[in-house]
Amino acid sequence: MRWAAMLAAFAALALPAQATGAVVATPEGIYQSVRDAVDGISSPPYIAFTLQDASSRKYALEQDRVRILVRVSDGNAFVVPIRTMDGNPAPRTPRVVTGGLVPGTPIYRAGDFPLADFGLRRKASSRRGIFEADTTPEPSQSAAPGQTIATVQAVNVAYRIVNLGDTTLDGHDVYHLGLTPLYDAGHHVLREMWIDKATFLPRKYVAERFVDAGAFAFRYLVTVDTAVIDGRLVNTDAVGYFNVNRALVVHYSGEGKWSISGVSFPASLPDWLFDPQTYGVHRNDPLPPEATVIVPSPAP
């Protein structure tokens, strides 16, 4: 009986924590379970959403609003301006964006925001992370996922991870992790995560964002809320505050704040929406319904 009990205990330890109902004990174990959960979600071919800016700079509120359709494989986007930064109806016509910088909004690479995983997916994207600088180096070879020695998998973790305690968030039990990069802080931008205990998906992040302002470029922390929409993890809201001082003569501060709504994942969209040359030929063609902004009716 004693040997049977020992074998049963060993078998339970060999199974994933989710299968046995056990709690992942270490911060590193929680982090790896998060990566497993994010890896388990397939990337959609397209995403459509409405971006609403609510940032403030120099005490002015920015109110730009755009409808964005993104081809996920290459990041090309079709952008329909709705409101300008001063809140007036946007006079500009739709356009195709291939470089990631969406016109009509100061939010860099807005098309990449909803599905940004901040480096949690083990298969690296061909494009740099949304909050990273252009010059951010890629991780070194020493940061590879791990090496197998006999039957033991040694995992390289890019962060020093600490468990900041179990808590609740919007009625859900969550782990709260603190993350400090061990190398290449410009590439590894996560600083905190709140992880749903039931799904191991992040419910909230704190990440460090780089803002390219030439000689006055700066970084600041952004809190990002998430939601699961049609089975996919989507970043829905972001807010962060910055206060920049340079050489005692330059000072500016403000708030970066934006949200997305009207999210859908079209199974297919016309290729000409994402190619500047062919879009010119189809400019007068009817747009797909996903490019239309639906304004909810007021409640009775």
**What is residue 25's predicted lDDT score, i.e. its pLDDT?**
67
In a domain, 241, yes or no: yes
In a domain, 229, yes or no: yes
State how many domains the chain has: 1
Averaged pLDDT for residues 16-21: 42
pLDDT exceeds 50 at position 148 = no
In a domain, 5, yes or no: no
Confidence of residue 11 (pLDDT cuts 50, 70, 90): very low
Residue 8 Cα distances to 12, 19, 23, 124, 192, angstroms: 6, 14, 18, 38, 36
Confidence of residue 251 (pLDDT cuts 50, 70, 90): confident
Higher pLDDT, 87 or 17: 87
**What is residue 155's predicted lDDT score, i.e. its pLDDT?**
54
Averaged pLDDT for residues 237-242: 92
User: Can you give the pTM of this predicted structure?
Assistant: 0.82
Confidence of residue 135 (pLDDT cuts 50, 70, 90): low
**What is residue 294's predicted lDDT score, i.e. its pLDDT?**
54
Residue span of the structural domain in which 74 resides: 33-289
Confidence of residue 152 (pLDDT cuts 50, 70, 90): very low
In a domain, 203, yes or no: yes
**What is residue 249's predicted lDDT score, i.e. its pLDDT?**
73
CATH number, domain at 207? 2.50.20
**What is residue 151's predicted lDDT score, i.e. its pLDDT?**
40
Distance, in Å, from the CA atom of 158 to the CA atom of 189, rounded to the nearest integer, reads 10
Averaged pLDDT for residues 22-48: 90
